[in-house]
Structure 1
Amino acid sequence: GETIPIKTVTWQVGEEKQLGELLEKVDILIINHGINVHGQRTEDAISQSYQVNTFSCWRLLELFLSTVKTNADIAKKEVWVNTSEAEVGPALSPLYELSKRTLGDLITLRRLDAPCVIRKLILGPFKSNLNPIGVLSPNWVAKQVIKLAQGDVRNIIVTINPLTFIAFPIKEFWVSTYFKLFSRKPADLTTTILNRH
């Protein structure tokens, strides 16, 4: 294949708003950052895990969704979020699992009213800086993700664990159904508040 240069931008957790202007020009935002504190359970490890794995991703998602303003944006803009296989299975790192599961649930909730496509990437243990002992080739995983996205799959599962292919769709169905039944669209909430006054 052809090598395409990629613009690299440095940013910090907590300062995601500084990326707003850049995200206006982005068609597909891939959120794939994370931290793994392994077996730690200190106050700092808890805070760091949630700030990086959950809330930073959430802020980036919301910032990107705010750039979806026209029909053309709705048609071409997408968010791909690597929530991890930890949404439904052990990652041998409790804080990684907890923070990624929280992110996964927030993404499921947000997809109910999102102005554009949000895809979840549920990826098995691929080799990376975060997971140097991963068994899957990152290039193979990337090819599978692209192939499934081209087929308009919204929950992209690439793993060697057959249980994930069963557990994730069941979990996603029930969590999504629960959120639909017990939460309201922003417009419905505004109407309810206005009716009370």
Structure 2
Amino acid sequence: MRRRAKAVCRESPGALIATALTSSWRESSTPLSISEEELSKIVPLLLGSGAGALGWGRVRCADLREAGAARELHQAYRLHTLQAEVHQHEIKQAVALLRLDEIEPVLIKGWSVARFYAERGLRPYGDIDLIVRPDQRVKAEGVLKNADLKFYVDVRHDEFEDVDDQRWKGLYSRTQLLQSDALIA
């Protein structure tokens, strides 16, 4: 009875996605061992959720790497790798603009978390999330708006709005200051 239940779960899209993404962000993920038919079933879901490149991380070292569905995952990985380069330049530009006006931003969410992935191309990128001292937020928004950037920088994070000066100093003391060249690593 247990074997039958396990087989049914294995065929569900959710279970297949869980299998495909297990440890996919790590440096030494194991090859994915599902059928080509199962892979074809979940590729649209992986791509639609932004996890296509993570799927490629598992498929590329498996026998499935030449399958048509695998090529779609490879394309997602290649696109995310290129987007990571563009995103890096955008972050540098936004940080430099704010620093010119003596505003020291803190990078949060996306890129700051992406450093822990084995490769930059394993995750998609969206906007740039920065936080600044609450008393500098309006000024930061003005600087970014006047710069007429071709990308979106979000400095409005309500969860940090009520951070007083003392808590901001504590938060800032635990950040890692990255020079612009450190973004490349």
TM-score by length of 2: 0.27
Higher radius of gyration, 1 or 2: 2
**Higher strand share goes to which structure?**
1
**Higher helix share goes to which structure?**
2
TM-score by length of 1: 0.26
